[in-house]
Amino acid sequence: MQIQKKILLASYTTFKIGGEAKYFGVVKNIEDLKEGVNFAKENLLPIFILGGGSNLLISDEGFDGLVLKMENKDLVIGLSYDGFMKVGVGAGMLLDDLIYKMAKRNLWGLENLSWIPGTVGAGVVQNCGAFGVELCNIVDWVEVFDTETGETKKLMNEECGFGYRNSIFKKKSNWVIIQIGLKLNEKESSNFSYNGLEDFENNENLTVKNVRKKIIELREKNTPWVDRLGSAGCFFKNPIITKDELEKLKEKFPEIPVFEEVGKNKISAGWLLDELGWKGVFEGEVGVYDKHALILVNKGKGTCEEIKNLAQKIEDDVFEKTSLRLEKEVVFV
């Protein structure tokens, strides 16, 4: 693996923001990963693992260590078992590329996550989700490399600590995801409960390709093209609140959308920000996307500090008017 010096990270992120990495290397396989980790240890450098660069805000000062960009993309289609197909995929494959490949095989489970940017490995860390489906619904196992011991370990789904936009991998900075096992359905198994998908209910001629196409159409309506506007996707999580908190909130916002979440209630942060007038608000080069209030965008010359300042203003405004503190979904580096 070639280790490069002073590589600008902005071009490796969907936000198009970020300073230089002191050192930078591309991981194609486990040997590259070991080489990079050894280099970091020998030079007493911190390591940052970079996937597709989405859901990420990198400091204007960059990263004073070694950035390892995961590009291991091996794909292994297993044997059919009891109506399911087992699939193994390298953590560096783009999630949407994987979904495209599975749609061609008419394997169900991932299609609702179509057009989410980033790699499969990063998606597992974040437990990304859309249209009623989370990646944890499909994950069978996750293989990690321990940078401290140099050993690999396989965790089954129940050991991954999956939650709403969360997993055990957020807490284990010494674990690098290298491969993921998925369990896909050979028969139709999509979630059609979200607006825009109702026509698929009880449709006997469904294909994964058709559902994927519809999901992409829906996402295109409220998601910016990253070659036109830099963004990291949804900047804040949807708050999960108690029944009492919901009742107080509904006194001010009786029409706020609510989704049940394991005995609690998940509310739409995007709807709330729209109601508070944040959609389309810009401060110089950065602002709130005019079609989706949860997405902060960079017109091209925005900085990390400008995004942070805007996000803080939004958080403070929401807290002042609702007593709710928004939690960031985007990772800060």
Residues 6+ apart with CB under 8 A from 129: 113, 135, 164, 165
Q: Please choose, from the candidates 278, 299, 287, 280, the residue with its C-alpha nearest in 3D space to the C-alpha of residue 225.
A: 299
What confidence score (pLDDT) does residue 188 get? 76
Lowest mean pLDDT among 85-94, 162-171, 198-207, 296-305: 198-207
State whether the Cα torsion 290-259-125-315 is positive or negative. Answer: positive
- The tokens describing 45, both together, are 């450098």
**How many other C-beta atoms can be found within 10 angstroms of the C-beta atom of residue 193?**
11
Q: How distant, in Å, are the alpha carbons of 195, 209, 224 from that of 219?
A: 12, 15, 9
- The fold of 230-332 is 3.90.78
In this structure, which amino acid lies at residue 229?
L
Q: Report the first-to-last Cα separation within the chain, whole angstroms.
A: 24
| Residue 168, C-beta contacts closer than 8 angstroms, at least 6 positions apart | 155, 159, 160, 161
What is the CATH T-level fold of the domain 4-70, as seen in this structure?
3.30.43
DSSP 210: H
25-80 pLDDT, tens digit each: 999 999 999 999 999 999 999 999 999 999 999 999 999 999 999 999 999 988 78
d(CA 122, CA 93): 10
Do residues 33 and 69 lie in contact, with contact meaning Cβ atoms separated by under 8 Å?
no
Amino acid at 27: V
Q: What is the four-CA torsion angle of 249, 250, 252, 256, rounded to 10 degrees? A: 100
CB 37 within 8 A of CB 43: no
Residue 236 DSSP class: B
Lowest mean pLDDT among 8-22, 84-98, 164-178, 191-205: 191-205
Q: What pLDDT, on the 0 to 100 scale, is given for residue 125?
A: 95
Q: Characterize 130-152 residue by residue with b for buried, 16 or more Cβ atoms within 10 angstroms of its Cβ, and e for exposed.
A: bbebbbbbbbbbbbbbebeeeee
| Domain 75-222, CATH | 3.30.465.10
Residues in the chain, overall count: 333
CA pseudo-torsion sign 8, 13, 18, 23: negative
For the ranges 61-75, 147-161, 177-191, the lowest mean pLDDT is seen at 177-191
As a whole number of angstroms, the distance between CA 190 and CA 197 comes to 10
At 222, the pLDDT band (50, 70, 90 cuts) reads: confident
On the 0-12 / 13-18 / 19+ scale of CB atoms within 10 A, 80 is exposed
pLDDT score for 102:
95
Residue type present at position 241: I
Residue 204, pLDDT > 70, answer: no
pLDDT in the model for residue 219: 87
Q: Among the residues of the chain, which ranges form H helices?
A: 30-42, 95-104, 120-126, 208-222, 243-252, 269-275, 304-322
User: Is the pLDDT score of 82 beyond 90?
Assistant: no
Query: What is the average pLDDT across 221-247?
Result: 88
CA 257 to chain centre: 22
Is pLDDT of 262 > 70? no
Whole-angstrom Cα distance, residue 150 to residue 248?
51
Calculate the average pLDDT of the chain: 92
- CATH 3.30.465.10: which residues of the chain? 75-222
Residue with tokens 């370990």: 153
